[in-house]
Amino acid sequence: MRTTTALPAAILAVLGISFGLTTPSPAPADEGVWTLDHLPVRALQTAYGFTPTPEWVEHVQKASVAFPGGSAAFVSEDGLVITNHHVARGQIQKLSTPEHDYLRDGFYARTQAEELPCPDLELRVLVTMEDVTARVRAAVDPKAAPKAQAAQLRAVQAKLEKEFSDRTRLQGRFVELYRGGEYWLYGYRRYTDVRLVMAPEGQAAYYGGDWDNFTYPRHDLDIAFVRVYENGKPVKPERWFRWSAQGPLADDLVFVSGHPGTTRRQLTVAQLEYLRDLQHPIRLGQLERRMAALQAFAATGDEPARRARSTILSVANNIKRTRGYLDVLRDPSLIEQKRREEMDLRRRVAANPQVAAETRGAWERIAAAGRELRRRHREHLYRDLDRTATLVGIATQIVRHASETEKPNELRLPEFRETQLETQRFRMFSPAPVYPDVDAVVLATLLDDARRALGPRDPWVKLALGGREPADVAGELMERTRVGDVGFRRVLVQGGSAAVRASDDPLIAWVRALEPLNRELRDWHEAQVQTVESMEAGRIARARFALDGKAIYPDATGTLRLSYGSVKGYEDGSTRVPWKTTFLGLYDRAEAFDGRRPFDLPPLVAGARAKLDLATPLNFVSTCDIIGGNSGSPVLNRNLEFVGIVFDGNIPAFRWDYDYDDVQARCVAVHSAGILEALRRIYGMDRLADELTGGKMATR
Amino acid sequence: MRTTTALPAAILAVLGISFGLTTPSPAPADEGVWTLDHLPVRALQTAYGFTPTPEWVEHVQKASVAFPGGSAAFVSEDGLVITNHHVARGQIQKLSTPEHDYLRDGFYARTQAEELPCPDLELRVLVTMEDVTARVRAAVDPKAAPKAQAAQLRAVQAKLEKEFSDRTRLQGRFVELYRGGEYWLYGYRRYTDVRLVMAPEGQAAYYGGDWDNFTYPRHDLDIAFVRVYENGKPVKPERWFRWSAQGPLADDLVFVSGHPGTTRRQLTVAQLEYLRDLQHPIRLGQLERRMAALQAFAATGDEPARRARSTILSVANNIKRTRGYLDVLRDPSLIEQKRREEMDLRRRVAANPQVAAETRGAWERIAAAGRELRRRHREHLYRDLDRTATLVGIATQIVRHASETEKPNELRLPEFRETQLETQRFRMFSPAPVYPDVDAVVLATLLDDARRALGPRDPWVKLALGGREPADVAGELMERTRVGDVGFRRVLVQGGSAAVRASDDPLIAWVRALEPLNRELRDWHEAQVQTVESMEAGRIARARFALDGKAIYPDATGTLRLSYGSVKGYEDGSTRVPWKTTFLGLYDRAEAFDGRRPFDLPPLVAGARAKLDLATPLNFVSTCDIIGGNSGSPVLNRNLEFVGIVFDGNIPAFRWDYDYDDVQARCVAVHSAGILEALRRIYGMDRLADELTGGKMATR
């Protein structure tokens, strides 16, 4: 058989073309965690033809919820709030008992009456914001010594916060933006009667465990629902997000409204090098040792495993995150790029005499503060106990509360100012269960680390250990202390300084003895490092404003921000990664691993395969700019419908701590359609699904 | 609520442990493409407690099939052969017509009568092997000039091959192992009546297209079935593999029996640098330009797209592979490792006086041959036309056949020796359709490349183009030649040299004119490069044998080899990759990309979702050592049951061209259970499925 066709001349003409990699036209960078007073209106209009109205912005603000350690959103007129399972994990753990392991098995309120009050959960909604930069700057003398500047800054903050709270009847919180370039007061409405409505099984929420954490494609139902009450009734929030049953489609414009914790994009190169060389490696070592000890503890039985579960998950998360941050910082290209940017900025500053005069010495003084920090970094990093062991934290709160509340408001530590006391007491008197055995494990590793790093003759180590072994000290303190008893705490706090001084509780006595050294260190850090960095970085930020106008957004500070971007996949290695996953992918992963841990399915999920529409989207990615703290943030479409909930970034998004790019880095969210499908067909939670689609509590 | 438990002393005791990355005990390396006469018996016994019997080895050998460009296997007593769709692609293309696009739509013989004879497919089975190293070495004078050595080598090969074929009645083929360390004669049984039984749609076989090629997780039904006939009846093969309906499980020991094409693990560093610096980059550039031209051609209509399909897929495959090889070679760690290994070997050689004497000058002479190759590399790489444009290839065959067959057997080019002529004529007189338009596109880019690289004044370029444009020359040659006509070819070949000399066919005349320059180049390469490399690398290989015993396997040479390994997944980035994929994953991928090309499903596959057991395994990976040419190799369990068919390696396996490791590199195969499920529930090919499970043709 022979085949011929005439040779089209057109074909032969194409042969002259030369083939190569074509440069794609640069995509608009969907960069920034923007404050709501300062949105990138022009970029949004240019890239997406969208301009938010004031009403739109107010809606975002008032339907967004600050959840401790993360973000959340109102999703019905009856105070229903959605967040991530892993954000609510601490509360679910606190609600669990040896008889009801809700973290493992999930919790499902079939009626409103079954909703379970969270022991110590405080949610907040941002109601108003005021720029107080001018008043703060006027109160701090830039020529004073660092210690004096620190005192001036503390005093003016206390004064402004108090005035603001008295005037607005809201909880005022001081917010430093642009690393000192601006100072604001944010006013919050607080909610403390919050009840758990639904949480899936830990294995459904965290499918794939530590392996799949920070990974995409992902298949997690990382959701939890709580309801906010006031005066025993579901609250009627001022604003809430309607639920999109369809959810987002490929290439949709979406927004993320939430509370990103910390980004380090506006740090100097010297500051980044400190993180790379000292802070991250030391923290990572501490976390890894803590993990080993906790796992050994958990391996001793089902009940120890249950008690330690939330702590272990949180430590594992921090290990993987810290490793990711270190990988980014150790990539020489990142530091090189930062160095180029810094040199470029300094050149432009130097070229403008007025700006140069106002910025003179700023980088040098930050570098000097960095050298001071390096000098004492071991003490700074290894004496830091109270954030990790619950009972040590509570004991420290009690000891400090006694001494601080005796001082005038302007002289106190920021967290003990008048305006913050209610929140402090809410935490100190939490009826949540404490686990002295878990605390002992954690405290012992911290003490062991400190001794190793600071040496046995360090004054703090000597005081803390008294020549004994860390495990013995921690074990004895935790076994004998009564700080786990809320009644005991109340009596101590009511007794004030005298009661604390007189207490023979071993943990209180131990914290009390260490407190002078801890306070000295904290005061040193505040004056010699924090205040210098804030003052000088503030100068640099204002230099930027002077040169470029206010074209940038501030580094994340745990306060409300809006990001925007496109729903889209990316290339990875040799192939493409799709913008979404489906339930098909979840069951595929379970089958592909032969159901081996941590890729096994909880029984309800395994049993629902035939009932589900398997093609329903489960997770999806977008280019929205996020960071830790954004977990639980609603993903919204341009009509402010809820289309998903952020719960992770992929591995390339670790870079976002220092620099945004959208080549591969993505924000990972649970898809709103997948949530509905799961509620109805896996969990039989039609009551909840109906409330989401109807916008109010179902009346069945 | 407060909870306490006694602090178990055991917990506190663990706190002393120091946490870190534990080093896993090194897994046995499942390395090697072993010849069947020299299997790694001890390693297999140690790692897997398995020792193959002679009967086992003979079964592997005789049930394995050499398929042009790949591998295959007998899977029923009635001559049924399975290979990859992409290995059979050329034949499926040749069977297609404007009315029946089997490459796109698949082919399904519902009865034996519908099986479709392939136009020019020759399958071979290895029947016997003889080591002729001593006779070859005795015939070559190591002190002679390279040109004389080349002639001696050619002559002894021709003589041995002829003797062997006359004696065994098999097709003898000369095989050089260990890059010259050993010489063998392999005797093959040939089959030329082969009929297509079943091929799925191109999109099912090659799901995910170029994106997913060389990628895992993968979801491809890359299979095709043919049946071998003799005397008009299905052949009864001496051995065939029984089908495992269950297929492999995680951690199973498996074997791959096939025809790996070329590995470069035993090259010197200088040879690797030639590949890295010149050969791969130049080939890649050629491929990319050819691709651009072919795509432009295919874009002109459905019929051009159909004609160019197989060529485009093959070029795309080569581009991705060559890029992968380049990435590996450009990773400095690979070359450094190779340099260390080479220095270590040379040190050990030098330390043994006898071995040193026999190896003296070997590396230096290979390096000198490499310099000679670099000197003429442009001619060598850019004048190479006949393997790429079908009609140029046939015309070259005709011209050479005429001149070579007039010479004594010992002086001929290897492919025109007595023993090979049947195969040559089978190809020359193939009735398969030719596409002069596709050929013109390919030839024009080759000529354009050659002119660019060699310059318009190069004698070969001047002869080839005569001062005209490449597209004009190629277009005119292809439009006017009659070489596409099989009758025309037969007349020319029968007429011998005289007919060729007298022919006024423009393509014959053009090839004839270029032939003296092409032959000069080929003779130079054979004498100055190939023979030197073979002789000297042979010396190095024998030095290895002398030092270590024959502990190694030879680089792949396109001849039958056995690999072994475990079915297992691996870690990638932050997570684990499972050992298998399932149909759930296939449908997930299609849904996740919203069915966009190339992630769309063909209609039969899309329609079968509800009928399939979706958890059936589709593809799986193992640590078996493979390389291009292994495509279509059966994967076998220790009982010699067929459990899958190799069709790809993942991206890390590109490294296997130069060095084996099993950290992430994997061999990718279609799972035997997935094939059965697809045949029955997607394609309704119960006849075929029954033959596989029953081992013989179904009688329904």
3-state secondary structure B310-359: HHHHHHHHHHHHHHHHHHHHHCHHHHHHHHHHHHHHHHHHHCCHHHHHHH
DSSP per-residue codes, A18-46: ---PPPPPPPPP----B-TTS--HHHHHH
User: Would you say residue B48 has pLDDT above 70?
Assistant: yes
Angstrom distance (rounded) from CA A417 to CA A148 = 19
Angstrom distance (rounded) from CA B141 to CA B539 = 13
Beta strands in B46-170 (DSSP E): 64-67, 70-74, 80-83, 107-108, 116-117, 123-131
User: Would you say residue A626 has pLDDT above 70?
Assistant: yes
Q: What is the DSSP letter of A444?
A: H
For position B573, what pLDDT does the model report?
84
| SS3 of residue B148 by DSSP | helix
Nearest C-alpha neighbor of B123 from the set B676, B486, B636, B632: B632
Q: What share of chain A is helix, strand, coil (3-state, %, to 5)?
A: 50, 15, 35
Angstrom distance (rounded) from CA B103 to CA B95 = 9
A chain contacts of residue B320, beta-carbon cutoff 8 Å? 574
| SS3 of residue B629 by DSSP | coil
User: Would you say residue A599 has pLDDT above 90?
Assistant: yes
Q: How confident is the model at residue A31 (pLDDT cuts 50, 70, 90)?
A: very high
Q: Report CA Rg, chain B.
A: 27
Closest-CA residue of A relative to B598 is A576
Angstrom distance (rounded) from CA B688 to CA B37 = 34
Nearest to B576 among A211, A307, A578 (CB): A211
β-partners of residue A185 are A130, A174
A chain contacts of residue B437, beta-carbon cutoff 8 Å? 4-5, 7-8, 11
Q: pLDDT tens digit string along A284-332? A: 999 999 999 999 999 999 999 999 999 999 999 999 999 999 999 999 9
Q: How far is B404 from chain A (nearest CA, A)?
A: 27
Closest-CA residue of B relative to A432 is B1
For position A389, what pLDDT does the model report?
85
| Cβ within 8 Å of residue B34, ≥6 positions away | B40, B553, B561, B562, B563
Angstrom distance (rounded) from CA A535 to CA A362 = 8
Angstrom distance (rounded) from CA B654 to CA B327 = 9
CA B528 to chain centre: 26
| SS3 of residue B413 by DSSP | coil
Q: Which amino acid, one-letter code, is at B574?
A: S
Question: B419-423: which pairs have CB atoms within 8 A and are 24 or more residues apart?
Answer: B419/B161, B419/B162, B419/B165, B419/B171, B419/B172, B419/B173, B420/B171, B422/B171, B422/B190, B423/B122, B423/B171, B423/B190
- Can you tell me the mean pLDDT for B235-251? 98
Q: How confident is the model at residue A130 (pLDDT cuts 50, 70, 90)?
A: very high
Q: pLDDT tens digit string along B356-381? A: 999 999 999 999 999 999 999 999 99
Whole-complex ipTM: 0.91
* Interchain proximity A478–B7, CB inside 8 Å: yes
Cβ atoms within 10 Å, residue B688? 23
Q: How confident is the model at residue B22 (pLDDT cuts 50, 70, 90)?
A: very low
Whole-model pTM: value is 0.93
Q: Check if the beta carbon of residue A569 is closer than 8 Å to that of residue A578.
A: yes
Nearest C-alpha neighbor of A442 from the set A514, A393, A508, A485: A393
- Can you tell me the mean pLDDT for B199-216? 97
What are the start-end ranges of the H helices in A549-671? 583-592, 603-607
Angstrom distance (rounded) from CA B121 to CA A558 = 69
For position A90, what pLDDT does the model report?
95
The CB-side HSE value for B59 (13 A sphere, CA atoms) comes to: 18
A chain contacts of residue B3, beta-carbon cutoff 8 Å? 307, 433-435, 484
Q: How confident is the model at residue A574 (pLDDT cuts 50, 70, 90)?
A: confident
Q: Check if the beta carbon of residue A431 is closer than 8 Å to that of residue A120.
A: yes
Q: Which amino acid, one-letter code, is at A552?
A: I
* Interchain proximity B436–A579, CB inside 8 Å: no
Tokens of B236: 């009864």
| SS3 of residue B33 by DSSP | coil
B chain contacts of residue A593, beta-carbon cutoff 8 Å? 569, 576, 578
For position A22, what pLDDT does the model report?
36
| SS3 of residue A71 by DSSP | strand
Q: How far is A380 from chain B (nearest CA, A)?
A: 22
| Placement of tokens 């080895």 in the chain | B57
Q: Exposed, middle or buried: residue A76 (CB in 10 Å: 0-12, 13-18, 19+)?
A: buried
| Placement of tokens 């609520």 in the chain | B1
Tokens of B646: 């190799």
A chain contacts of residue B323, beta-carbon cutoff 8 Å? none
| Cβ within 8 Å of residue A284, ≥6 positions away | A319, A322, A323, A326
Q: What is the DSSP letter of B34?
A: B
For position B477, what pLDDT does the model report?
97
For position A700, what pLDDT does the model report?
54
For position B387, what pLDDT does the model report?
72
- Can you tell me the mean pLDDT for A65-70? 97
Angstrom distance (rounded) from CA A313 to CA A82 = 21
Q: Check if the beta carbon of residue B543 is closer than 8 Å to that of residue B358.
A: yes
Angstrom distance (rounded) from CA B320 to CA B329 = 14
* Interchain proximity B578–A589, CB inside 8 Å: yes
For position A387, what pLDDT does the model report?
72
For position B21, what pLDDT does the model report?
35
- Residue A412 sits at the vertex; the CA angle it makes with A411 and A418, to the nearest 5 degrees, is 115
What mean pLDDT is reported for chain B? 94
With b meaning 16 or more CB within 10 Å and e meaning fewer, what string describes B19-48? beeeeeeeeeebbbbbbbeebbeebbeebb
- Helix (H), strand (E) at residue A480: helix A470-480
Residue A272 to residues A280, A335, A626, B500: CA-CA distances in angstroms? Answer: 10, 8, 19, 76
Angstrom distance (rounded) from CA B608 to CA B603 = 9
Residue A560 phi, psi dihedral angles, 5° rounding:
-65, 130
Tokens of A599: 């890729």
A chain contacts of residue B574, beta-carbon cutoff 8 Å? 211-215, 320, 651
Beta strands in B553-596 (DSSP E): 561-566, 570-572, 575-577, 580-582
Nearest to A582 among B17, B475, B591 (CB): B591
* Interchain proximity A448–B16, CB inside 8 Å: yes
* Interchain proximity A471–B5, CB inside 8 Å: no
User: Would you say residue B382 has pLDDT above 70?
Assistant: yes
Residue in B12, B478, B648 to test binding to A, most A beta-carbons within 10 Å: B12
Angstrom distance (rounded) from CA A401 to CA A417 = 10
* Interchain proximity B440–A10, CB inside 8 Å: no
Q: Check if the beta carbon of residue A635 is closer than 8 Å to that of residue A543.
A: no
Q: pLDDT tens digit string along B119-170? A: 999 999 999 999 999 999 999 998 999 899 999 999 999 999 999 999 999 9
CA B493 to chain centre: 30
For position B97, what pLDDT does the model report?
94
B chain contacts of residue A293, beta-carbon cutoff 8 Å? 11, 14-15, 17, 19
Cβ atoms within 10 Å, residue A24? 6
Nearest C-alpha neighbor of A474 from the set A454, A509, A445, A450: A445
B chain contacts of residue A484, beta-carbon cutoff 8 Å? 2-4
Angstrom distance (rounded) from CA A128 to CA A62 = 10
Angstrom distance (rounded) from CA B241 to CA B62 = 10
What separation, in Å, do the N-terminal and C-terminal C-alpha atoms of chain A show? 74
Angstrom distance (rounded) from CA A258 to CA A669 = 13
* Interchain proximity B484–A4, CB inside 8 Å: yes
* Interchain proximity B437–A213, CB inside 8 Å: no
Q: How far is A440 from chain B (nearest CA, A)?
A: 8
- Can you tell me the mean pLDDT for B572-590? 96
* Interchain proximity A434–B3, CB inside 8 Å: yes
Angstrom distance (rounded) from CA B550 to CA B541 = 9
Closest-CA residue of A relative to B437 is A7
Q: How far is A7 from chain B (nearest CA, A)?
A: 6
Q: Exposed, middle or buried: residue A335 (CB in 10 Å: 0-12, 13-18, 19+)?
A: middle
Q: pLDDT tens digit string along B413-441? A: 999 999 999 999 999 999 999 999 999 99
Of the listed ranges A392-396, B176-180, B695-699, the one predicted with least confidence = B695-699
Percent of chain A with pLDDT over 90: 93
Angstrom distance (rounded) from CA A377 to CA A326 = 18
- Helix (H), strand (E) at residue B94: helix B85-95
Q: How confident is the model at residue B700 (pLDDT cuts 50, 70, 90)?
A: low
Q: Check if the beta carbon of residue B541 is closer than 8 Å to that of residue B377.
A: no
A chain contacts of residue B587, beta-carbon cutoff 8 Å? 584, 614-615
Q: How far is A647 from chain B (nearest CA, A)?
A: 17
Measured torsion, CA atoms of residues B186, B187, B193, B194, in degrees rounded to the nearest 10: -40
Q: pLDDT tens digit string along A94-119? A: 999 999 999 999 999 999 999 999 99
Q: How far is B437 from chain A (nearest CA, A)?
A: 6
Q: pLDDT tens digit string along B442-486? A: 999 999 999 999 999 999 999 999 999 999 999 999 999 999 999
Tokens of B274: 């030639």
Percent of chain B with pLDDT over 70: 96
Q: Which amino acid, one-letter code, is at A339?
A: R
